[in-house]
Structure 1
Amino acid sequence: MKTIGHLVRVFLLFTIASCSSVRVVKTEPGANFALSNYRTFAFSDIESTGDVPQSGFYRSQVDALKTAIEKQLASKGLRRVDTQPDLMMNIGIAVDEKTQTRETNIRTDPPFYIGQRRYTWRSQEVPVGQYRQGTIDVHLIDPRRNEMVWRGIVEGILPKKPEKLQKQIDEGMEKLFARL
């Protein structure tokens, strides 16, 4: 009976984890990379592409992203400095407008008229909605060697409400830096 209860808890945990709208696309550690070799970090310029508005809201979200990253790195023993860092952090942000589609199907979307001899029916992609997808690409650079030592990419569908976006940023950075 304990085994069944344990299996149910594990299944629920995986179900809840799979409902997250943020996913880590990939992480790439450099050769011989060990985070324990570094004690300090600093942010370099942030690059953004796509449908990213250059507004006060965008800048506040970039600051929130930096705060979330700083929190994750502090939990791993690193501290932020302004001069002579052991690691430099490059961040790339891309936001793209996407169209959600569904494919028509002969079984669920039958043609209305079938009287012609050479009638053909083709499946097609039908747009059903619009959404914004954000991707954050984080590079850790060793400034002494001028070499990238770690890279991580996380992406997710951006919510419309700012408070949900903040929660999603925190969740994404937590997932990403858990793989560091």
Structure 2
Amino acid sequence: MKRLLTTAFLLLALAACATPRVFTDHDPNAPFSRYHSYSWREKAEKAPPLVAQRIVAAVDAQLRAKGWTLMPEGGDIALAAHVASRQEYELDTFYDDPFWGGWGWHGHWGHYWGAPRLGFDTTRVRSYTVGTLVLDMFDTQTKQAVWRGTAEGTVPKKPEKLTADIQTAVAKMFEDFPPGSAMR
């Protein structure tokens, strides 16, 4: 039973790590109540084409749900999406020591500080890609930035999972959008 609970906890912890981290910021003086339309200025050109399409579709769906209208040009807000990625590494070291009692044991079978280690260790290196999506909104009249959403997480290899992660991240960005609309 204890092993089952430990396994369940580890799975939940891993699932939490896989969830994209999302942050938003906005200009508190921006008149969000007067914004009702938007146009794309940049559509994540540095992303692979299918990924860029998924990002645009997810953002369009969220803004449509908020009552905003997409215009080919001349919207109240200009949107710019940018992506970046970086490689990160995880190191796991496993020790195989013949003296299982080692720590604090000074008896016949234990070893003590300064004693030579007779076991072996193995280190496993795992590389993975971390992706970042940044979505900026600019007031087209004042040319000032009014909102930014940032999402970061591990980039999955399967397209279905990638699509789901993009949709989840963008939905989290727009949970309390427009700023000041959420009940606290």
TM-score (norm 1): 0.70
Q: Which of 127, 131, 147 is the equivalent residue of 1:130?
A: 127
Bigger Rg, which one: 2
Structure-2 separation of matches of 1:94 and 1:63: 16
Percentage of pairs with the same residue: 23
Q: Which residue of 1 aligns with 2:29?
A: 32
Matched positions, count: 150
Moved more, 76-85 or 39-48: 39-48
Structure-2 separation of matches of 1:20 and 1:129: 15
Q: Which residue of 2 aligns with 1:43?
A: 40
1:72-111 paired onto structure 2 within 5 Å: 72-102=62-92, 109=95
Q: Which residue of 2 aligns with 1:167?
A: 164
CA shift in 2, pair 1:168/1:47, >3 Å? closer
1:127 Cα deviation from its structure 2 partner: 5.3
1:20 Cα deviation from its structure 2 partner: 6.3
Q: Which residue of 1 aligns with 2:51?
A: 61
- Is the 1:72–1:173 contact (alpha carbons within 8 Å) kept by the matching residues of 2? yes
Structure-2 separation of matches of 1:154 and 1:94: 11
CA shift in 2, pair 1:109/1:131, >3 Å? same
1:46 Cα deviation from its structure 2 partner: 3.9
1:110-125 paired onto structure 2 within 5 Å: none
Structure-2 separation of matches of 1:166 and 1:72: 15
1:48 Cα deviation from its structure 2 partner: 6.1
1:157 Cα deviation from its structure 2 partner: 0.5
- Is the 2:133–2:151 contact (alpha carbons within 8 Å) kept by the matching residues of 1? yes
Counterpart residue identity of residue 165, structure 1: L
Residues 1:156 and 2:153 aligned together: yes
1:110 Cα deviation from its structure 2 partner: 7.7
Structure-2 separation of matches of 1:93 and 1:101: 26
- Is the 1:48–1:94 contact (alpha carbons within 8 Å) kept by the matching residues of 2? no
Q: Gaps spanning 5+ residues in structure 1: where?
A: 1-14, 53-57, 120-125
- Is the 2:87–2:129 contact (alpha carbons within 8 Å) kept by the matching residues of 1? yes
TM-score (norm 2): 0.68
SS in 1 for 2:126: strand
Q: Gaps spanning 5+ residues in structure 2: where?
A: 1-11, 99-110, 117-122, 178-184
